[in-house]
Amino acid sequence: MSTARKRQRWAGARAPEDWRAPLNVASDLKKTPLHDLNVSLGARMVPFAGYEMPVQFPAGVLKEHLHTRAAAGLFDVSHMGQVIARARSGDNADAARALESLVPVDVAGLPEGRQRYALFTAEDGGILDDLMIANRGDHFFVVVNAACKEADLAHMQERIGDSCEVTMLADRALIALQGPRAEPVLAELWADIAGMRFMDVRACDLHDADCIVSRSGYTGEDGFEISIPADQAEKVCRHLLDHPDVMPIGLGARDSLRLEAGLCLYGNDINTTTTPVEAALEWAIQKVRRTGGDRAGGFPGADVILGQFASGAARRRVGLKVDGKAPVRPPAKLYSDADGKTEIGHVTSGGFGPSIEGPIAMGYVPVALSAPGTPLFAEVRGKYLPVTVAALPFVPNTFKR
Amino acid sequence: MLKFTAEHEWLKIDGDVATVGITTHAAEQLGDLVFVELPDVGTSFDKGGDAATVESVKAASDVYSPLDGEIVEVNQAIVDDPSLVNSDPQGAGWFFKLKLKNTADADGLLDEAAYKELVG
């Protein structure tokens, strides 16, 4: 069995010899506030970013995925970092200015009650993490990836700590309710939810818990992400799960949903070696931060990234539709020829798309080979399988803009 | 004669030919299968060789040859519909038939009681 291919025996992310053992024995993995609920729902728990997380529930990845697209899926994403940045001056505009020194994004122009996708960039133009930034009026609320959250916190404290108090919220859970039934389900608890648009952020009471709700997610579906006080998270989730439209969803389906939606997974599709332009994330950099904009540059790696806006990058992240039935998984190599002579890139995410009913992938290819329809080949178990560059997302999003 | 391996394969042995599949326990652990790749008829494997590949939404896994032998038949039905392996792993979801090099080797495999004890 080749480890290079990341092949595994039956037990998903766990090694074959230990998958019969309860995972929490002699484990220093952290638990989310919803751990007991996840276990009681029959979740298969696996290590992820230092946490014990549900990879799937008894329904299984396929049904969980399709249920989210058809009704509403409830995700525990409490492992993610919830960070507050508050200006020491008391003026939120100062916090916006400080954050703009870390991200190539229009933060100063983000109105109160709105959220925006952002990237922490490095001096060489690479990506340290991707994140959400919400303007909460008297502070900014930032959600970062679990695996990066300690580094992100240190980065923020070091770079903007003089002007902002930067704090990680350790006492809050984070859940996502995603899918076409998410709005009606939440509207039964809080009527105002229907008035929210994509990327709106509001404070609200759900079952007497002080929540922060944003209309956003990581599935391509309309939906909500909800920050809840840790000690009330299980209660809120149990109420949501009582609704017949709501099913608990694990990380397995979270990954297949976001792949179909063409969304990047930090650490796979973007990392310190990929720039926002290479990653096809130009849309995340508003005009005001680009060359010629009022607040152009001023973020780490601006010379590299704005230079790539002007003269292009050598490679680009693209979608790949696999012609046959075999899933193509990272880090499969990509070739321009059927004999594997000319290696041109590699797959960064890939698997089976349950809504597509076939294998899909994303990867990096030279710009000259990045147009949708370009035929390429992916190496899987020594064979060169035909794949075709495809427009992203694979499944159209249903955001309520 | 029904035998099992610690790698979660079952063998139904009839003379010198073993029908091979993965156990109910393995199918549950793998979750919904979306792809199966079977070996070519005529291929010979040593015990433990990578004979087939199964893929769930999440991951790819190998199915090993449980004993030394040669593939004499494969189950195209599970290639066409991998969910057969989940719905009937120890019946219609069989993988391949292996002509055993040495039928006595099967004596070293687990019987049903021993396998049940293994998976708890």
Could you tell me the residue ranges of all domains in chain A? 3-71+173-260, 314-401
Residue A149 CB partners (closer than 8 Å, separation 6+): A80, A81, A83, A168
Average pLDDT over residues A297-320: 98
Q: Which residues pair with A350 in a beta bridge?
A: A361
For residue B71, tell me if it sits in a domain.
yes
> What is the per-residue pLDDT for A59?
95
* B3 contact A CB<8A: no
Q: Answer whether residue B87 is part of any domain.
A: yes
* B100, part of any domain: yes
* Other residues' Cβ atoms within 10 Å of the Cβ of residue A25: 7
B62 and A CB contact within 8 Å: yes
Cβ(B2)–Cβ(B112) below 8 Å: yes
Distance of alpha carbon A46 from alpha carbon A18, whole angstroms: 12
Domain at A314-401, CATH homologous superfamily: Aminomethyltransferase beta-barrel domains (2.40.30.110)
**CB pair distance less than 8 Å for A20 and B119:** yes
Residue A25 has pLDDT above 80, yes or no: no
The nearest CA of chain B is from the CA of A105 a distance in Å of 33
Does domain A3-71+173-260 fall under CATH 3.30.1360.120? My reply is: yes
pLDDT band at B22 (very low <50, low <70, confident <90, very high): very high
Q: Which of B58, B63, B117 to mutate to test the interface with A (most CBs of A within 10 A)?
A: B58
Q: Is the pLDDT of residue B83 over 80?
A: yes
* Across A21-35, B25-39, B40-54, B92-106, least confident range: A21-35
Which CATH number belongs to the domain containing residue B62 in this structure?
A: 2.40.50.100
Quickly state the pLDDT bin for A6 (edges 50, 70, 90). very low
Q: For B32-66, how does the pLDDT look when each residue is reduced to its tens digit (9 = 90+)?
A: 999 999 999 999 999 999 999 999 998 899 999 99
Residue labelled with tokens 């006595």? B104
Contact check, Cβ <8 Å, A326/B35? yes
Residue B115, domain member (yes or no): no
Nearest to A9 among B55, B61, B119 (CB): B61
Measured between beta carbons, the chain A residues lying within 8 angstroms of B30 are: 10
- Three-state SS for A175? strand
Residues A223-233: pLDDT tens digits? 999 999 999 99
| Distance in Å, alpha carbon of B112 to nearest chain A alpha carbon | 18
The stretch A263-284 carries a mean pLDDT of: 98
Which residue on chain A is closest to B37 by alpha carbon? A326
Answer yes or no: is B111 within a domain.
no
Residue B58: the pLDDT is: 84
User: Does B37 reach chain A within 8 Å, measured CB to CB?
Assistant: yes
Domain of residue B82 covers: 2-104
* Length of chain A (residues): 401
Residue B109 lies in a domain: no
Q: What is the mean pLDDT of residues A37-66?
A: 96
| Domain count for chain B | 1
State the smallest CA–CA distance between residue A131 and chain B in angstroms: 24
Chain B: closest CA distance from residue A154 (Å): 33
